[in-house]
Structure 1
Amino acid sequence: MSARRTRVFRVAAEEWRALARNRVAMIASVTLAALLVTSALLGVEQRDATQAARARYQATADEAFDAQPDRHPHRMVHYGQFVFRPLSALAFFDPGVEGFTGNTVFLEGHRQNSANFSEARQSSLLLRFGQLTPAFVLQTLAPLLIVFLAFGAVAREREQGTLRLLLAQGLRPSELALGKLGAHAGVVAAIAAPALLVLAAAGLAGWVPPMPGLLLMSGYLLYLSIWAVGALLVSLWVRRARDAMLVLVAVWMGVVILAPRLLPELAVARVPTPTRIETDVAIHQELKRLGDSHDPDDPYFSAFKAKTLARYGVDSVEALPVQWAGLVAMEGERMTSGLFDRHARDAFAREAEQNQLVRRFGVLSPLIAVRQLSMSLAATDTESHQDFLEQVERHRYAFVQALNLLQVTKIPNQNAGADPRIAAAHWKTLPGFTYRPPDVLQRAGDRIQANLLVLGCWLVALLVGCGLAARRLEEASR
């Protein structure tokens, strides 16, 4: 056993020595490490700057709202508020869908607005091909470097005739494969080391929660190991190094370049979603059927009027102790918000179905699995954005109803026809929005486990393939 281990270590050491002598490989490795460190530092700086800007805009919007003069509460309902989404701690590492979903929501009565001002709409088309982030470097560029370093691990030995000499000296093919695996496992560790150090430093500084950071790097180590083992498998099976390189580059283009861009289009074609205009038209038609609060003869609000008069024990709206128009506004907001929520849930369900369809292809593409894992742990996935919109809508409804309640209780019913106003001090009593980020391990635990399992199964399957290829090589050498 000791002699076998020594031979495996020698093979690994020789592979490392060969890689160290390859000047192009060393330059490429150093360049990739520099890209990882640079992208991480730029990501942290950009995240901090974006977070500070959004906090500043939020404070400015809140101050502008609080500084409004004495007004009718319903005017303030239409004046509205702006809400800016804060960035997650790991957004610098993997921004996920942040650049495409928008970050600002305008809150007003009778409407449920979507998020606006996404980076993709304000930047060049290059953003759609990937930002320079640690996640992009590890997902896209690192596999290509691993392929370049490992494609000739065995095929080159076969072409140069050294493989036959090694086997003639008693080295078994399984020992050769283990040694090459050990060497390129070290390559994977060296490639991922800068990102590991950045996450470790961020964790020690308290910027990043420890468990999501640990799971994030575990997922990327599995992903890069898949490429290293896959490259070795192809090198074991293919006779010429040139053919191995062509096969691996073709696989890289299909898995990394084509699949992430084709699968979302297939998902949209399979599960189509209505456009914003179609949704607005459908909502408007349903609102007309529900009831029109501005129509005194509307059947629903006529019945609501009768119930309200009976509850207060009066015969007319003028005799109500509270303002009738404010009660109508509260009831109308309740009805419209319920309708908006139903359409939003339907849209979220369609997006979830599309995402689930894409995730199923993680079985065929490890990039999909690591990308979904990375976005879930960084809280920059679609589900995190939907959680933000749901919290914003709950705040919008409470904000509008609080203003409607001020109209009900603070404005005398007898003055409903004039232009009554209430004191500006009331605007400062309204609740402000505070986003509460969910626990990613609790919210996305099932998806995280599933993606880690997919990556683990990919690695195990490729290791089994390497074992079979080594056995085949041993049988051929007899």
Structure 2
Amino acid sequence: MHHPTAWASLSLGQRDVNPYYVKLRLLGLQGQLYASENVNPTKALNGNFDLAFVLVYLFPLLVIALSFNLLSSEREQGILTLLLAQPISAGLVVGAKLLFRLTLVLGLALGLSAVAMLGAQVPLDGRVGLWLALVTFYCLLWFGLAYVVTGLQRNSAFNAVALVGLWLILVVLVPGLLNVYVSAARPVPQGIALTVKQREEIHGGWDKPKMETMNRFFALYPQFRDTATIKERFVWRWYYAFQHLGDQSVRPLAAAYSQGLQQRYELVNRLSWLSPAINAQSSLNALAGTDLPTHLAFQQSATRYHDALRAFYYRYLFHKVAFTHADYAKEPTHTFTSTPEIKTAVSGLGKLLGSVGVVFATGLLLFRVRPINPR
């Protein structure tokens, strides 16, 4: 069982798509490791709804709705000339309106985060400040984009279309293209191929000579070589022997699969500056301990537990040791709790901070080189 931390309810991450508990037996590991419960396809289509989704994908739309007409509305209403006649600069007017909207949005975002944290009973440690910083700079980035579009001094319709276009590019198009690129640049063996090969090996074990199977098994576990020759049609130790050989046959594929997923994750992290949505989502998942490296660590932990189960029960199977009620207390146990990837979250915050600086600097430059035209 992959026990979640309190943070997992705020950002589901990989727990939404990968199994977070497996029912392990002495049978072939790979078939159990990737098995998941059947779910309602309608629910799977809709997906789960967490705070990270709201903040990363929906809040930019709120920023756009509030900020697309920062300056254009006054021009279209014919009051911009009167406004500029006052002893205040146009930059100050735009800044004040931007700051007011920023206060509203940040108040809502940080308020939702605080309520969610209180409801989830998250521990009040440094992660709280890091989460709030990520949310703050992500919202600042979108206000910065609104500031840049305002600096172009076009009408409200153009501003709205431009900002929605930026949302589609940065939140939908770039992540989709990045997924295609990463899939091509870091090919990963298909999980279904791994499962099929393992099942073929296990099912083929029924038809192979028992001595051939046992000799292959004894090469891995020579301590059991002195067990009696199998003469019966079915013996449990032979059955579990070819189950384990099925796992051994796909071991290189399984290692390549896990390594490939890790390489894809690292490549996405290196390219996440291309999309603030990917950067923010990855950072929040890392902070909540629901990212891909944590899931891979859980699978490795489950693999070690399966090895411990085999080491514990093989003695009873192969040496025919009587299993008593008291032996249940000696059975290996498994526990795995998510741990946050603070380094990844801090790196994501640094990328957001750099992006915010670039965007606001661009907006300031636009207002300097293009004086505001009241008409």
Q: TM-score, structure 2 length as denominator?
A: 0.82
Q: Deviations over 1:272-324 (max 9, x none)?
A: 33333422455689999xxx99425977668789x769xx9xxx766xxxxxx
- Does the Cα contact within 8 Å between 2:153 and 2:372 map onto a contact in 1? no
- Match status 1:192 vs 2:89: no
- Match status 1:474 vs 2:371: yes
1:256 Cα deviation after fit: 2.4
RMSD between aligned alpha carbons?
Answer: 3.6
Alignment-derived partner of residue 117 in structure 1: 36
Alignment-derived partner of residue 308 in structure 2: 398
Q: What amino acid is aligned across from residue 309 of structure 2 in structure 1?
A: F
- Does the Cα contact within 8 Å between 1:330 and 1:405 map onto a contact in 2? no
- Does the Cα contact within 8 Å between 1:256 and 1:367 map onto a contact in 2? yes
- Match status 1:267 vs 2:182: yes
Hey, what's the Cα distance between the residues in 2 that align with 1:327 and 1:126? 42
Map residues 302-381 of structure 1 onto 2, 5 A cutoff.
Answer: 342-381=252-291
- Does the Cα contact within 8 Å between 2:90 and 2:372 map onto a contact in 1? no
Structure 1 runs (4+) deviating above 6 angstroms are 284-288, 301-305, 325-339
Hey, what's the Cα distance between the residues in 1 that align with 2:250 and 2:101? 54
* 1:239 alignment partner, SS class: coil
Change (3 A) 1:146 1:427: same
- For residue 423 of structure 1, the aligned residue among 324, 330, 334 is 324
Alignment-derived partner of residue 343 in structure 2: 446
Alignment-derived partner of residue 152 in structure 2: 237
Q: Deviations over 1:419-474 (max 9, x none)?
A: xx533432332022222433x1xxx2332222111111111111101211221243
Change (3 A) 1:254 1:130: farther
Hey, what's the Cα distance between the residues in 2 that align with 1:297 and 1:94? 47
Map residues 39-58 of structure 1 onto 2, 5 A cutoff.
Answer: none
Aligned residues: percent identity?
22
Q: Considering only CA atoms, is the larger Rg found in Structure 1 or Structure 2?
A: 1
- Does the Cα contact within 8 Å between 1:142 and 1:191 map onto a contact in 2? no
Hey, what's the Cα distance between the residues in 2 that align with 1:331 and 1:227? 58
Q: Which has the higher contact order (CA 8 A, sep 6+)?
A: 2
**Which runs of 5 or more residues in structure 2 are unaligned?**
229-234
1:199 Cα deviation after fit: 4.5
Alignment-derived partner of residue 455 in structure 1: 352
- Does the Cα contact within 8 Å between 2:22 and 2:36 map onto a contact in 1? no
Hey, what's the Cα distance between the residues in 1 that align with 2:319 and 2:124? 46
Q: TM-score, structure 1 length as denominator?
A: 0.66
Hey, what's the Cα distance between the residues in 1 that align with 2:119 and 2:278? 26
- Does the Cα contact within 8 Å between 1:172 and 1:474 map onto a contact in 2? no
Change (3 A) 1:123 1:304: closer
Alignment-derived partner of residue 140 in structure 2: 225
Hey, what's the Cα distance between the residues in 1 that align with 2:36 and 2:325? 30
1:200 Cα deviation after fit: 5.0
Q: What amino acid is aligned across from residue 157 of structure 1 in structure 2?
A: E
* 1:380 alignment partner, SS class: coil
Change (3 A) 1:303 1:252: closer
1:383 Cα deviation after fit: 1.4
Map residues 99-114 of structure 1 onto 2, 5 A cutoff.
Answer: 99-109=16-26, 111-112=28-29, 113-114=32-33
Hey, what's the Cα distance between the residues in 1 that align with 2:227 and 2:256? 38
1:342 Cα deviation after fit: 4.3
- For residue 88 of structure 2, the aligned residue among 168, 171, 174 is 171
Q: What amino acid is aligned across from residue 165 of structure 1 in structure 2?
A: L
Change (3 A) 1:141 1:300: closer
Between Structure 1 and Structure 2, how many residues are aligned? 363
1:399 Cα deviation after fit: 1.1
* 1:295 alignment partner, SS class: helix
* 2:33 alignment partner, SS class: coil
Hey, what's the Cα distance between the residues in 2 that align with 1:365 and 1:208? 30
- More displaced 10-residue stretch of structure 1: 367-376 or 271-280: 271-280
Q: What amino acid is aligned across from residue 111 of structure 2 in structure 1?
A: P
Change (3 A) 1:86 1:469: same
1:126 Cα deviation after fit: 5.7
- Does the Cα contact within 8 Å between 1:88 and 1:380 map onto a contact in 2? no
- For residue 155 of structure 1, the aligned residue among 72, 75, 96 is 72
Change (3 A) 1:297 1:175: closer
Change (3 A) 1:260 1:208: farther
- Does the Cα contact within 8 Å between 1:181 and 1:229 map onto a contact in 2? no
1:157 Cα deviation after fit: 2.5
- More displaced 10-residue stretch of structure 1: 175-184 or 448-457: 175-184
1:187 Cα deviation after fit: 2.3
